[in-house]
Amino acid sequence: MSDFASRLTDLILAWFPIIFGFGVLLAFTVFIIRGISQHRRERQRRVARSALEAKMKYFVYAKIMESILPMARAAKYEDPLSETLEAARLGLVTGGGTQMGEGDTIVWVGLDLALADLDGAVQLTRQRLRELGAPAGSVLEYRVGEEKISVEIA
């Protein structure tokens, strides 16, 4: 090996741990900063959601007659509906569930909704669930006083 190649190899071997250490430190720093930023954004979103939730007066249950797994339910119905309601400041999706049948089959799925009013918010919810593909037989259920009301979605 030439004298130059030998010195270059020695130089690389001498500086490699330092350069590698700085690379790891830089990656760790970027990871921490991104985590802090994400935490702040999530906290702001939770505060805004809590403020919006405090304004919601009505509990509405969406019974969707579709056999769909929970993760798919969230992607197909919960997330898009929640985005629409929150953007309009008319409500939000507070949860969801699955009605199981015999043999571990899914009979239908449901969404828990907190809505600001029973006119505009219910109509927006019906329209959005239709757009998202809620099948026939799906309903929104809620109470006005002691009266239980069921409104067809599709």
Q: Largest Cα–Cα distance in the chain? A: 94
Q: Do 124 and 131 touch, CB atoms closer than 8 A?
A: no
Q: Do 136 and 65 touch, CB atoms closer than 8 A?
A: yes
- E strand or H helix that includes residue 93: strand 91-100
What angle in degrees, to the nearest 10, is found between the helix axes of 79-87 and 120-131? 140
Q: What is the mean pLDDT of each run of 10 residues along the chain (154 residues)?
A: 82 86 92 89 75 77 96 96 92 92 93 91 96 97 93 91
The mean predicted confidence, pLDDT, of the chain is: 90
Residue 40 structure tokens: 């702040």
Residue 151 structure tokens: 């409104």
Q: Which residues contact 72 (CB under 8 A, 6 or more apart)?
A: none
Give pLDDT, residue 42: 84
